[in-house]
Structure formats: structure tokens, C-alpha cells
């Protein structure tokens, strides 16, 4: 059974940086799409970014493009989210998510929470103005 454990996050000032990490276990890391979602207080959980397993394609939500960077460390079974130029509206609990993909398998909506079947416990990020 896949398990995801997030670390990092915390408090930052607007314009600052934070880094989140998610350690994957219980499966073949290279077969999984790894994504980050976030949930701000009083709001629904939303997609942030995904990195696909075959080819390494990445897709970012518009609000974080140019500021956030996802990276996969295969040797450490870890996916990182580097967050720069943080804004107060980035304040949220950030969740790591995973979905096993099959090479040349069918497409899916990587923006949707229901596309992922493994989730981390969440890491809190607070950005002060």
C-alpha cells in the first residue's frame, strides 16, 4: 500500500520561499504521477501541480506558474515542491497525492482529486503579508 509522508512548510513572509517534500513508499515510485493539492481555510481542495512518471511532464495551475517548481528525486523516492515569491493567498494545507500510471494507458483528469488514490497527511503553509 502506497504511503506518502510530507515535510517542510511552516511560516513565511510574502515574497519569501518554502520547500515541501513528500516521501513515497509501498510501490514503484517511477510508475506514479505525483501531485500537490492545497486547501485554504474555508475553501475546497484545489490542484497545484503534477509531475507525470513517463517523460516527466509537469502541469501547473496558473496561479503558481513561474513561482513554484516540482521536482522528482528518484533515488530518494521523493517529490519536492519549491515555492518562491510566496503570496498570502498561497496560505493553505498542502497535500501530496499519487496515482499509478500505465505506459500508454488511458488519459485521466490530473486536476481532479478523484484521480489520485494515495494521499499524504498534509503540510501547513502560512504566508504573512
Q: What is the 3-state secondary structure (H, E, C) of the chain?
A: CCEEEEEECEEEECCCCEEEEEEEECCCHHHEEEEEEEECCCCCCEEEEEECCCCCCEEECHHHCCCEEEEEEHHHCEEEEEECCCCHHHCEEEEEEEEECCCCCCCCCCCCHHHCCEECCCEEEEEEC
51-to-7, 26, 58, 73, 128 alpha-carbon distances in Å: 18, 19, 4, 11, 28
Percentage, residues of the chain above pLDDT 90: 91
- On the question of pLDDT at 54 being above 90, the answer is no
Give CA separation, 119 vs 27, 73, 86, 97, in Å.
14, 18, 24, 5
pLDDT (0 to 100) of residue 95: 98
Mean pLDDT in the chain? Answer: 96
End-to-end Cα distance, the chain: 40
Confidence at residue 92, expressed as pLDDT on a 0 to 100 scale: 98
Per-residue pLDDT at 102? 85
Amino acid at each position: 500500500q502506497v504511503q506518502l509522508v510530507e515535510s517542510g512548510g511552516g511560516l513565511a513572509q510574502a515574497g519569501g520561499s518554502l520547500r515541501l517534500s513528500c516521501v513515497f513508499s509501498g510501490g514503484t515510485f517511477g510508475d506514479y504521477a505525483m501531485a500537490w493539492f492545497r486547501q485554504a481555510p474555508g475553501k475546497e481542495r484545489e490542484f497545484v501541480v503534477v509531475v507525470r512518471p513517463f517523460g516527466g511532464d509537469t502541469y501547473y495551475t496558473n496561479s503558481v506558474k513561474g513561482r513554484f517548481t516540482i521536482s522528482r528525486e528518484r533515488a530518494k523516492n521523493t517529490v519536492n515542491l519549491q515555492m518562491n515569491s510566496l503570496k498570502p493567498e498561497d496560505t493553505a494545507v498542502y497535500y501530496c497525492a499519487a496515482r499509478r500510471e500505465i505506459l500508454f494507458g488511458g488519459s485521466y483528469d490530473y486536476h481532479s482529486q478523484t484521480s489520485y488514490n494515495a494521499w499524504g497527511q498534509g503540510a501547513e503553509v502560512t504566508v504573512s503579508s
